Amino acid sequence: MTAIAWSWCWPEISSGLSVSRSVASVFDQYRQGLWRAERGGQLFVDLSNPNGLVMTLATPPHPNDRAGRTWLELDSERCQREIVSANARGLRLVGYWHTHPQTIPAISPTDITSFSRFARRYSDELPHPIAVIVGLSQEPNGIKAWSFRKGACLEATVSNLNQT
């Protein structure tokens, strides 16, 4: 059984997504320090999980990624390798995550452009990509998620928080 850290929901589309504790741990481990470069990775769900849609893998930052304090470019070769490896384990790509040097993250116009480009690139496999941005705060609102649907960017709300 997968231990769940919290769940997000999108009331506008009656959809939810649980986040495993292992994914939450990756987000916490790689929070962006002040004056440090952004970090990020890809997000995968286990479609066979009996608990519903659960994000079970967040890949860590990679040395071949290019980044600055307010921008990130994931290495495309590492991304492709991660997708092949995750698919072999029955996991499916749902989006990607990255950090922001903000206490409470907000999606920027640059993020929207980047995630829209990502959505176009994977449109066959990924009709509604998810963007996760990890801010500096360790409070529940320090990590936020958005779903991209029909040109709209919908922010998720935390629907269940399972803290230990």
Task: Quick: pLDDT tens for 81-139.
Answer: 999 999 999 999 999 999 999 999 999 988 888 887 877 777 777 778 899 999 999 99
For position 11, what pLDDT does the model report? Answer: 82
pLDDT, one tens digit per residue, over 101-115 is 999 999 998 888 888
Asked if 158 and 8 count as a contact pair (C-beta separation under 8 A), the reply is yes
What domains can be seen in the chain, in order of their start residue?
4-156 (3.40.140.10)
For position 161, what pLDDT does the model report? Answer: 66
Mean pLDDT for 3-23 is 89
Outline where DSSP puts E strands in the chain.
4-10, 15-20, 40-46, 54-58, 66-68, 71-73, 91-99, 130-134, 143-149, 152-155, 157-161
